[in-house]
Every structure is written in C-alpha cells, then in structure tokens.
C-alpha cells in the first residue's frame, strides 16, 4: 500500500507495539507501587483467573516460570506440579486498563492514526508523521520512553503493512525491535512452520500439513487457486499473508489525548536559530492539525531541544488563551525558543508539544483571543487539503518541506 502526494509516492510506515508479558508486568508494577519489595517478574510467578481454585487457568507467567514448563492456558494444578514454588496473583483488570491507556496516550504523541488491536497491542500508521526521521529511530525512541516513563517493555515490529509488522513484533522477546519488509520474508518467515503465520489456526494448519504444506514458504509457493478452492476466502488471505501481502488500513478512532506533540532527530546538527524556527513551524503545523482533528484547544506549549552532547532542554509556557490556531501557537513556540536558546549550541533534536488540552465547546472566550474567523477559516481550508491529498500536500512551512530541508548546507 502506498500514499500518493501530488505525484510523490510514499510507502506506508507501520509500527506494531506489543507489551511484553502485559498482565504479569502490569501486576508487578501495581504491587511495587503498593510497597512490595519483590518484583514478581524476577521470580517464578503467574497471573491466574482465580487463585483459590486449583482448576483456575494460567493467564500469564514469568520467564522463570516458563523455564519450569509453565504455559499459558493450563490449570493452576498442572502449573504447580511443574513448579511447586510458583507464586500466584489475581488479575487486576482496572489496573490493566490504566496501563493500556497510559501507553495509548504516549503513542498518541507520535500519530493519531492508532489502532488498538487488543489491551496490550497497537498498530501505528507513521507514514506522514516521521518529519524526516526514520521509522527505526521513532521505534527506538518509543521503546526507551515506554521503559523509562511507564516502567514496562515492549516489542516493536516495523514494516510497510500491518500483518508483517505484527509478525515482526512476535520475533525474539523481550524488549526488542524487529523489521519484516517484503524483501525479508523469504529469509525471516518462509522457514517457519505454517502454524506461525498470522491468522492461521491449529485446524487450518493441520489441513495444510495434509497437502504437504509445512512451512510458510511452502504455502507462499503453492498454487493459489488450489488453496482458494480448499479454504475459500480464508485461503486467499493465508496465501497473500505468506507472500507478505496485506492491504488493510490502520483503523483508528479519535480518543482524547492528554497532550499532543512530535519531535525530529536531525541528520546534521544545527546551531542556527532561524533554521530551528523553521523546523518548529513544521512541528507546530502537525500538532495543531491534530488538535483541530480532535476538536481540542491547547493552553500550554512546550519546546524541547537536545544538544549534540545529549543534554535535554525543555521550556514551556502557558498560552494567553486556549487555541488550536497554527499562527498563534507558532508565535508562542518562537517566543519560548528565544527564551531558552540564548547561547548557541549544536542541536540534534527538536521537539514541540501542547498540554492542558480542553474541548473546544468547553473553552471560555478570552478578551485576548486574537484568533479571527479569517485565521480559523485558513486553518480549516489547509486541513481539508491535507485530508484530501495527504498531510504533506500543503504546509505553511512552504519550501521548508522537512525531507527536503534536512539537506542542510
């Protein structure tokens, strides 16, 4: 799947985020908050539906428990026979939702195109939100932030479609980042058992075995029409997945974010304020576009700079009034930059974020609100063009197209 922006073809950039051992990790964090001195992720432990009943089912297990042969889905009785020292803990679904929401809120700083695939998995369409950065750089940044800010780890899969990104995130765990692009499927997944292909269940795998199809590569190179006759629409899907084909979109819905932001790691250090302002304009445009898409206004703006010595500087300022207007927020961003960038130093990352978000309908009219119907109309017109032709179709930054601008001279 490709996006076309005024003749320029862009390959989709998809991330799949999968929390490592979510139920056990999130339970461990809750217990530590409550004063526990032992991290259950580091001992033989398991999460179960009802620890009082020996017929209860194991929902998640630690790596040490796994080393004893404990598996998800077996009864507590079976698990304890394998691991007599196994410590059991009940599920905490309210806490799981909080951690899931915290992850979503962090990811929403990178794109609004997020599909919650399950409580601990998300797809992100980053195609028009890389701002000249690479998908791998964004994945590394997300991985570090989740670990440092939320306290758990994730696996991240990178590809140009959802299915391949999902399979990539299932490779070696935990806390890993993997790619799986079409040119890599022959090496990385064709040798795998066909049962490991996404959406191939046990019964389908058993039927495929009977036809001499044992690996994903066998399926990919088998006669497609034969597979379709035997499996119908599911056969088409399985054959296409085996060949790395998936045209499905990231299905997202707008959820209220606590903050919206983006950042870009520059290919070359910059020590020129005017160039940093130009980069800020591109970031502000993207952030305000998302504000308006969510029908929200910002009350706080923040600028982040990271030096080439990896020292972070973050300054923020309260806005005079709640707004989503690009020009108004850009003026605030430039003011913040002037206050914090008094001594020139090489900058390798520029970030911008808005906080204190409020719903448009709940905001109070300010006497100092300089937004005019003309400004609002211009923003809305630009937004419509972005939606119709793609985000990169038109920007107030004009020739400062980020991908082009990154060829600093």
Asked if residues 134 and 111 have their Cβ atoms less than 8 Å apart, the reply is: no
Could you tell me if 11 and 34 lie in one domain?
Answer: no
Between CA 152 and CA 147 the distance in angstroms is: 5
Residues 168 and 283 in one domain: no
Angle at alpha carbon of residue 271, lines to 393 and 276, rounded to 5°: 30
Q: Is the per-residue pLDDT at 138 higher than 70? A: yes
Q: Are residues 46 and 71 in the same domain?
A: yes
The boundaries of the domain holding residue 224 are: 189-242
Residue 109 lies in a domain: yes
Q: DSSP letter for 42, please.
A: G
Helix boundaries (H) for 355-408: 373-389, 402-405
275 CB-contact burial (10 Å; exposed 0-12 / middle 13-18 / buried 19+):
middle
Same domain (yes/no): 63, 206: no
CATH code, domain with 196 = 1.10.150.20
Question: 45 and 71: one domain?
Answer: yes
Same domain, 89 and 99: no
Domain end point (choices 143, 177, 211): 177
Contact between 109 and 89 (Cβ < 8 Å):
no
Q: Tell me the C-alpha distance between 294 and 395, whole Å.
A: 19
Q: What is the mean pLDDT of residues 116-140?
A: 91
146 and 53 within one domain: no
User: What pLDDT is attached to residue 252?
Assistant: 85
209-215 own/partner pairs: CB under 8 Å, 24+ apart: 215/190, 215/191
How would residue 408 be classed by pLDDT, with cut points 50, 70 and 90? very low
Same domain, 213 and 301: no
CB 150 within 8 A of CB 235: no
pTM of the model: 0.75
Cβ contact 217:239 at 8 Å: no
Q: Is residue 84 part of a domain?
A: yes
Are residue 298 and residue 156 in the same domain, yes or no? no
- In a domain, residue 30? The reply is yes
Say if CB 155 and CB 112 are below 8 A apart.
no
Tens-place pLDDT, residues 316-368: 999 999 999 999 999 999 999 999 998 889 999 999 999 999 988 765 444 44
Q: How far apart are the first and last CA of the chain?
A: 34
pLDDT averaged over every residue in the chain: 86
> What letter would DSSP give residue 150?
I
Spatial separation of the C-alpha atoms in residues 312 and 235, rounded to whole Å: 52
Domain boundary among the residues 155, 177, 199 is at 177
**Banded pLDDT at 190 (limits 50, 70, 90):** very high
> Cα 373 vs. chain centroid, distance in angstroms?
35
Supply the pLDDT for residue 265.
83
Residue keyed to tokens 């059991």: 88
Does 131 score more than 60 pLDDT?
yes
**Would 248 be classed as within a structural domain?**
no
Per-residue pLDDT band for 51 (boundaries 50, 70, 90) equals low
Looking at the 3D structure of the chain, how many domains does it have?
4
The percentage of residues in the chain with a pLDDT greater than 90, rounded to a whole number, is 67
Q: Please report where in the chains the tokens 């890389």 appear, as a residue.
A: 130
Per residue in 293-310, pLDDT (tens digit) is: 888 899 999 999 999 888
Residue 253 maps to a domain = no
Q: What is the pLDDT of residue 25?
A: 97
Laid out side by side, the sheet with 114-118 consists of 114-118, 121-125, 14-19, 154-159, 177-179
Is 121 a catalytic site residue? yes
Which residue in the list 51, 109, 115, 121 is annotated as catalytic?
A: 121
Q: State which of 38, 69, 93 marks the end of a domain.
A: 93
Closest CA to 114 of 16, 18, 244: 16
Q: Are residues 173 and 207 in the same domain?
A: no
Q: Are 400 and 283 in contact (CB under 8 A)?
A: no
Residue 343 three-state SS: coil
**Does residue 88 sit in the same domain as residue 128?**
no
Cis link prior to 33 (omega < 30° from 0)? no
Same-domain pairing of 100 and 83: no
> Quick one: pLDDT band at residue 253, thresholds 50, 70, 90?
confident
Phi, psi of 96 (to 5 degrees): -60, -40
pLDDT at residue 404, rounded to an integer: 44
């Amino acid at each position: 799947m490709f996006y076309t922006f005024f003749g320029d073809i862009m390959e989709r950039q998809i991330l799949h985020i999968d929390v490592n051992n979510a139920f056990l990790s999130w339970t461990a964090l809750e217990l530590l908050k409550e004063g526990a001195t032992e991290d259950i992720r580091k001992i033989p432990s398991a999460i179960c539906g009802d620890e009082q009943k020996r017929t209860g089912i194991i929902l998640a297990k630690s790596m040490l428990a796994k080393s004893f042969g404990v598996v998800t889905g077996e009864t507590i009785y079976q698990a304890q026979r394998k691991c007599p020292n196994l410590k059991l803990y009940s599920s905490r679904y309210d806490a799981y939702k909080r951690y899931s929401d915290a992850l979503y809120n962090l990811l929403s700083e990178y794109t609004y195109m997020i599909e919650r695939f399950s409580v601990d998995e998300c797809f992100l369409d980053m195609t028009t939100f890389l701002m000249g950065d690479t998908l791998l750089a964004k994945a590394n940044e997300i991985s570090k932030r989740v670990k440092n800010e939320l306290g758990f780890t994730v696996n991240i899969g990178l590809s140009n479609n959802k299915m391949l990104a999902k399979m990539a995130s299932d490779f070696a765990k935990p806390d890993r980042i993997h790619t799986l692009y079409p040119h890599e499927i022959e090496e990385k997944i064709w040798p795998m058992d066909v049962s490991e292909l996404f959406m191939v269940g046990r019964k389908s795998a058993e039927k495929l075995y009977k036809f001499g199809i044992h690996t994903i590569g066998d399926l990919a190179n088998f006669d497609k029409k034969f597979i379709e006759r035997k499996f119908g629409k599911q056969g088409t899907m399985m054959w296409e997945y085996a060949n790395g084909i998936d045209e499905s979109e990231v299905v997202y819905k707008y959820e209220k974010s606590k903050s919206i932001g983006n950042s870009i790691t520059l290919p070359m250090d910059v020590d020129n304020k005017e160039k940093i302002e130009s980069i800020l304009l591109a970031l502000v445009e993207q952030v305000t576009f998302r504000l308006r898409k969510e029908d929200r206004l910002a009350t706080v703006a923040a600028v982040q700079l990271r030096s080439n010595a990896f020292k972070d500087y973050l300054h923020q300022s309260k806005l005079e009034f709640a707004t989503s207007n690009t020009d108004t927020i850009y003026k605030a961003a430039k003011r913040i930059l002037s206050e914090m960038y008094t001594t020139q130093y090489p900058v390798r990352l520029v970030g911008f974020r808005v906080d204190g978000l409020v719903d448009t309908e709940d905001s109070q009219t300010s006497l100092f609100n300089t937004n005019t119907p003309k400004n609002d109309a211009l923003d809305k017109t630009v937004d419509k063009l972005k939606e119709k032709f793609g985000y990169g179709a038109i920007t107030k930054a004009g020739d400062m197209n980020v991908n082009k601008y990154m060829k600093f001279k």
